[in-house]
Amino acid sequence: GENVGLHLPTLSVQEGDNSIINCAYSNSASDYFIWYKQESGKGPQFIIDIRSNMDKRQGQRVTVLLNKTVKHLSLQIAATQPGDSAVYFCAEGRSGGYQKVTFGTGTKLQVIP
Amino acid sequence: EAGVAQSPRYKIIEKRQSVAFWCNPISGHATLYWYQQILGQGPKLLIQFQNNGVVDDSQLPKDRFSAERLKGVDSTLKIQPAKLEDSAVYLCASSQGGAAGHTIYFGEGSWLTVV
């Protein structure tokens, strides 16, 4: 079955440093991958996505890298800020008859001031 | 643009009681999702609607959970009777669906505690 998981449950980073959050997936049929940020008491918020035919995509202070050979996805956050403290989920999605999105377990990012 | 609206935000019930959650998706979004999120875990899809039809309810405990989306807009999720393990956040989400967009937008969630 589908399995999307993260390597590290908690990541502590000094403010101003770069953060790298990793994710492993097992479904080669996924068309796209998405990163969500979830702050305490709130619903997940879309950060960035990447299609399976790409290996890198950049946003504002964030970069997502996709390595289909080893089925690995990462989210890089540049110049980490206290407001980046949250739980980050990767999700994989498949198009087709209907969109199907499966979430991983999540990594908690703690930014140390 | 208004986001996904959910109510109630918090609910505490005793086991074997019933509870209902309401969701109003983003206007024009064809796809509506109900996710269950247990503390420390990622959201788990319970049911997915495309307009007012169910496209995936494979993980919905149908003996106690039910959901409907009347007229393809608002949706309700009901639990009856509730069990202790149903304590979780119930997230409603919506997306445009299809080729128009796969980004899922979440509501703030309905926090359920079963005692």
Any domain includes A110:
no
What is the chain B residue with the closest CA to A4?
B42
Tell me which residue in B42, B45, B97 faces A105 most closely, judged by beta carbons. B42
Q: What is the largest CA-CA distance in chain B?
A: 43
Mean pLDDT of the A56-83 span:
96
And the tokens for B41? 């875990």
Categorize the per-residue pLDDT at A113 as very low, low, confident or very high, splitting at 50, 70 and 90.
very high
Which parts of chain B have pLDDT scores under 50?
none
Tell me which residue in A44, A100, A104 faces B106 most closely, judged by beta carbons. A44
Contact A44 B91 (CB under 8 A): yes
Q: In which domain, by residue range, is B110 found?
A: 5-114
Any domain includes A112:
no
Contact A102 B55 (CB under 8 A): no
Q: How many domains is chain B built from? A: 1
Contact A43 B4 (CB under 8 A): yes
Q: In which domain, by residue range, is A29 found?
A: 4-105
Mean pLDDT of the A79-101 span:
90
How many Cβ atoms are within 10 Å of A24's Cβ, its own excluded?
Answer: 15
Any domain includes A81:
yes
Question: Can you tell me the distance from the alpha carbon of A71 to that of A69, in angstroms, rounded to the nearest whole number?
Answer: 6
The answer to whether the peptide bond before residue B81 is cis (omega within 30 degrees of 0) is: yes
